[in-house]
Amino acid sequence: MTQHADDPELETAYNEYYANVYAAVEDMQFAYRKKIMESECCKDLDDHEFGHLKQSFENAIALFREANIPLMIEESELANRYGSIVSKMSVMFEGEQRTPAQLGVFLKDADREKREAAYRARYQLYLDQAPELDQLYDDLLKIRHKIALNAGFANYRDFKHQEMGRFSYTPEDIYEFHRAVELELMPFVKELDEQRRQSLNLSSLRPWDTQVDLDGRNLKPFETTDEFIHKAIDVLDKVHPPYAMQLAMMNNSGMLDLENRKGKAPGGYNTGINALASSFIFMNHVKLQRDVVTLIHESGHAMHSAATKDIKYFPYLETPSEVAELASMTMELLSMDYWDIYYPDPIDLKKAKREQLEGTLSFLPWCMTVDAFQHWVYLNPQQTAKERGEAYLKISDPFRSIVDFTGLELWRPHAWKMQLHIYEVPFYYIEYGMAQLGALSIYKNYRENKAKALEQYQEFLSLGYSKPVNELYKVAGIDFDFSAKHIRELVDFVKQELAAIDKD
């Protein structure tokens, strides 16, 4: 369905599967969990092996409402509509019909006028669809709020926090994370942007100036999809040979759909096929460095799926996103030493590494914006589309750096519409920030002792979700920590690593 998001027959087939298979057994799963928890044998189960499973079952039992099953089906159908809308977007640019992802390539172009034109063409696609996207979001909000009320919650934010099994932290802890990023990270991000402005010799940094290479020499990691895949296999072979074997097997089995094309859903994902200890990777490459990172990232998820092949209990295979994203983001950093396979030129290699390290932290302001925006949205379910846009502007301001959006006032309230997670998987985003800090912490350990860090990482992968989040981070050799102090330490570490790259 995501491979051909513009095909209504496939969309219908997926919706029918969700309604008649996936959602149809929710009441049976509830009865099954309840039967286990009420069994006399349950109290005799070893807490070390089954304690986390029982906590997960108790949580699912507490949240289940039969009245929510048809609402879940309707929500799924609506959420799928976002991908369908975006998959049909294209505009004539530079003599060809271009998708939003293909327009993004031009943001790397040395010609500033061309970059601006591509930026404006891209956001105009979303502006043209803004009424439909706003109506879709209004419909999703209404259903999600009703689901929360049915389950006994005052709002969907609190319902979703519990449904996602966030036992290790509270919504208030997340607000502290937002504040810590604003306090400890934004000065570093503004410093990077000021360096960029000066390097480009600009009076002000505009949004179409934030991705162009400072020396006008764009990174070109590959020419063909086949080259793209085989270089990724070679990179993973350097990290840990079994990882390369896994990706090669997936490639040989037709489990990779990587190139961007019209009609394809936006974004990227890995979906595990547990019965085969394998995975399917979906993405939209346009021959940029970020595509290399995306494939390595999704490969991290795939290695996670493969590593859990010996887990006996299905719920332990379903990792929460704080855990899943730690696996994938760590793989990005562990692979970085071997990117010479994509970039044999030392100058290009240094640029790719610098871009990656800067990106690990400069991504966090957007991560906080997306999360804080969703907190506001679901705590204020009666909002209008206009009020939603105004709230987005206010929420995003502390994380804006020095980029000048003058003349783009019509666009800015709609910028959040480009983030598919907001529509399709609500609240699945802050975990990218948590996992990014965790990945940097593992990479810091890796710099000090590669063998030990890799061994701890592999042990972490093999446990799936058999332990609570904070305990799994401990197995990986790090703390589950997103405090201001920890962010400050990681900013200093990244600065040291950047200085080392410049010295080489």
230-254 pLDDT tens trace: 999 999 999 999 999 999 999 999 9
CA dist 243 and 303 (Å) reads: 6
CA dist 458 and 443 (Å) reads: 14
Percent pLDDT > 90 in the chain is 86
CA dist 38 and 19 (Å) reads: 29
pLDDT confidence bin for 146, thresholds 50/70/90 = very high
Are the C-beta atoms of residues 160 and 426 closer than 8 Å to each other? Answer: yes
CA dist 215 and 199 (Å) reads: 8
CA dist 327 and 302 (Å) reads: 9
| Three-state secondary-structure class, residue 487 | helix
Q: Left (φ > 0), alpha (ψ -120 to 50) or beta: where does 102 sit?
A: alpha
Percent pLDDT > 70 in the chain is 100
| Three-state secondary-structure class, residue 2 | coil
| pLDDT over 80 at 130, yes or no | yes
Are the C-beta atoms of residues 487 and 180 closer than 8 Å to each other? Answer: yes
| pLDDT over 90 at 314, yes or no | no
What per-residue confidence (pLDDT) applies to 278?
83
Angle at 372 between CA 83 and CA 368, to 5 degrees: 85
CB atoms within 10 A of CB 344: 8
pLDDT confidence bin for 197, thresholds 50/70/90 = very high
CA dist 21 and 18 (Å) reads: 6
Are the C-beta atoms of residues 62 and 37 closer than 8 Å to each other? Answer: no
Phi, psi of 257 (to 5 degrees): -130, 100
pLDDT confidence bin for 168, thresholds 50/70/90 = confident
445-470 pLDDT tens trace: 999 999 999 999 999 999 999 999 99
462 Cβ contact list (under 8 Å, min separation 6): 307, 308, 310
pTM, two decimal places: 0.90
N-terminal to C-terminal alpha carbon distance within the chain: 46
414 secondary structure, DSSP code: G
Exposed/middle/buried for residue 357 (C-beta within 10 Å: 0-12, 13-18, 19+): buried
CA dist 401 and 388 (Å) reads: 22
Which pair of structure tokens corresponds to residue 39? 């069994």
Residue with tokens 């589309």: 385
What per-residue confidence (pLDDT) applies to 219?
87
205-235 pLDDT tens trace: 999 999 998 877 788 999 999 999 999 999 9
What per-residue confidence (pLDDT) applies to 171?
96
What pairs with residue 7 in β-bridges?
Answer: none
Which pair of structure tokens corresponds to residue 13? 């087939």
What per-residue confidence (pLDDT) applies to 288?
87
| pLDDT over 90 at 414, yes or no | yes
Which pair of structure tokens corresponds to residue 307? 């590593």
What per-residue confidence (pLDDT) applies to 293?
95
Nearest to 215 by CA among 201, 225, 205: 201
67 Cβ contact list (under 8 Å, min separation 6): 150
Exposed/middle/buried for residue 149 (C-beta within 10 Å: 0-12, 13-18, 19+): middle
What per-residue confidence (pLDDT) applies to 218?
80
Q: Left (φ > 0), alpha (ψ -120 to 50) or beta: where does 467 sit?
A: beta
| pLDDT over 80 at 504, yes or no | no
| pLDDT over 80 at 110, yes or no | yes
CA dist 173 and 193 (Å) reads: 29
Label the pairing between strands 278-285 and 269-273: antiparallel
CB atoms within 10 A of CB 314: 10
pLDDT confidence bin for 340, thresholds 50/70/90 = very high
Separation of CA 127 from chain center: 24
196 Cβ contact list (under 8 Å, min separation 6): 205, 209, 210, 214
Q: What is the mean pLDDT of residues 43-66?
A: 92
Helix count and strand count (H, E) for the chain: 22, 5
Q: What is the mean pLDDT of residues 367-375?
A: 98
